[in-house]
Amino acid sequence: MHIALKLIAQRLALGGLLLVAVSVLIFVGTQILPGDVAQSILGQSATPESLANLRAELGLNEPAITRYFAWAGGMLTGDLGTALTSGADIGDAIGGRLANTLFLASVAAAFSIPLAILLGLLAVRFKDKWPDKLISATTLASISLPEFFIGYLLIFFFGVKLGWFPSVATVYDGMGFWDRLEVVILPALTLTLVVLAHMMRMTRAAILNVMQSAYIESAELKGLSRFKIIYRHAFPNAIAPIVNVVMLNMAYLIVGVVVVEVIFVYPGMGQYLVDHVSKRDVPVVQACGLIFAAFYIGLNLVADVVSILTNPRLRHPK
């Protein structure tokens, strides 16, 4: 087998094993939480008989290993279970919220990825000069602040003081694209400021590493401008590490939206997860946790595969 295909197959197999391991951790973590699920559903006035009947109905009397395989088998077949607090099908409830989360993450990615690459190119072009220092200082300041603080600052200035954008990101079915985009501007901008610094600095470091190559010196001797050398010769050869960091931050945008969605009361997966954690609705927490883990592992696998395919030593081992 070709070495690149072999490495890709290994990465995919490891990704599958990692997802199984994460599912075990999620199941065990939700089982060892303090409190009684049946008690939290029926309340403090529940009788011992009603508690025993509900535990039997929920399958809580079954061995943990039996409950895990039943839950994992349902996940594999697309059956996410039923919410304990509302009796609603979790798959139906998550569908629309997952779409909202992916829309928010896509808008944030559409802002952050081109901006990070552009700032990285400018930082390399003006290395060790005031534009480079200004870009580095600004992005480091943004990543040093916690998400909730950035979100509240944006709400205060752009939502309350200026009134440019709504402070609460309320979306609903049938809402037009531009109306939906206006609503998610502030949460998307919050996520952009959080991930921008990492992507920009990795872009800068990757291009500077390539700039030390011999063919860059040849291009300089030909009289090409520095910016043309950067974007035409250095940037294409630095694309693999840049893709890696972009995919990692894309994974963060999807998984790390929990705090941002709560701040802006955005009806996405993060808000749904937090609401049901407070209610101790274990099936919802398990389903949301596994979906987040699957997205994170999947995007990391994409980054690995892209790195393998863009490595000429692996594509042409001879």
pLDDT value for 296: 83
Q: Which amino acid is at 98?
A: L
Q: Range with the lowest mean pLDDT among 51-65, 184-198, 238-252?
A: 51-65
Confidence of residue 236 (pLDDT cuts 50, 70, 90): low
Q: Which two tokens stand for residue 118?
A: 């552009």
Residue corresponding to tokens 């009684």: 36
- When pLDDT is averaged across residues 67-94 and rounded to a whole number, the result is 76
pLDDT at 156 over 80: yes
pLDDT value at residue 79: 73
Q: Are 30 and 285 in contact (CB under 8 A)?
A: yes
How many CB atoms lie under 10 A from the CB of residue 250?
24
Q: What distance in Å separates the CA atoms of residue 107 and residue 111, rounded to the nearest whole number? A: 6
Q: CA triplet 15, 17, 23: central angle to 5 degrees?
A: 100
- Give, in degrees to the nearest 5, the angle at Cα 300 between 298 and 305: 95
pLDDT at 263 over 80: yes
One-letter amino acid at 149 equals: F
Decide if pLDDT at 147 tops 80: no
Q: Tell me the CA distances in angstroms from 1 to 5, 94, 251, 314, 315, one per residue in order.
A: 7, 41, 30, 12, 12
Global pTM reads 0.75
| pLDDT of res. 150 | 82
Residues 271, 251: Cα–Cα separation, whole Å: 18
Does pLDDT of 41 surpass 70?
Answer: no
pLDDT the model gives residue 38: 62
Distance CA 123, CA 225 (A): 16
CA distance 1 to 21: 28
> Coil, helix or strand for 128?
coil
| Paired tokens of 38 | 């049946």
pLDDT band for position 311 (50/70/90)?
low
